[in-house]
């Protein structure tokens, strides 16, 4: 199962100069893990909000608290970044934007759109 037992490993992350495509890729994975972790709390909120009017109010109250507001903003970033980075890969699968310049440009767009979503989530009233 593991043909290369002694693959070279270089983990000095601060010395690596990663291209934007790599950063977007790492963030794609990270955002996916975040979204996965959010599934259970999300279901809990859904159950609570559907139970009765009190539960609905309680769920709203929880979402309005500032730690949850920040968590929500982070999840919005995760969702938008994961969605756009995924669509970018689907386009690349379809051989659109495979070249280095195009791939870097699309990676920039994905990263920026994600950060805009994060800003929007933080500033959301």
Contact residues for other proteins (CB under 8 A)? 1-2, 29, 32-33, 35-36, 39-40, 43, 46-47, 49-53, 55-57, 79, 83, 86-87, 90, 93
Residue number, 100 or 123, with CB nearest to other proteins: 123
Cα 92-18-112 angle, rounded to 5 deg: 60
Tokens of 10: 């270089």
CB of 10 to other proteins, least distance (A): 16
Pair 76, 121: CB distance under 8 Å = yes
CB of 100 to other proteins, least distance (A): 23
Residue 112, burial from CB neighbour count under 10 angstroms (0-12, 13-18, 19+): exposed
Residue number, 101 or 113, with CB nearest to other proteins: 113
Residue number, 49 or 97, with CB nearest to other proteins: 49
CB of 86 to other proteins, least distance (A): 5
CB of 47 to other proteins, least distance (A): 5
Nearest Cα neighbor of 119 from 74, 83, 64, 71 is 74
Helix 53-64 and helix 20-51, axial crossing angle in degrees, nearest 10: 150
Polymer length of the chain:
125
Residue number, 107 or 117, with CB nearest to other proteins: 117
């Amino acid at each position: 199962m593991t043909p290369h037992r002694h693959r070279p490993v270089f983990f000095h992350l601060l010395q690596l100069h990663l291209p934007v495509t790599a950063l977007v890729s790492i963030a794609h994975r990270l955002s996916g893990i975040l979204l996965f972790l959010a599934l259970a709390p999300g279901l809990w909120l859904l159950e609570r909000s559907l139970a009765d009017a009190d539960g609905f109010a309680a769920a709203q109250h929880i979402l309005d608290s500032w730690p949850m507001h920040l968590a929500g903003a982070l999840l919005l970033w995760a969702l938008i970044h994961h969605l756009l980075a995924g669509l970018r890969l689907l386009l690349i699968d379809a051989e659109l934007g495979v070249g280095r310049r195009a791939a870097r440009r699309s990676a920039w767009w994905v990263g920026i759109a994600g950060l805009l979503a994060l800003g929007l989530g933080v500033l959301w009233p």
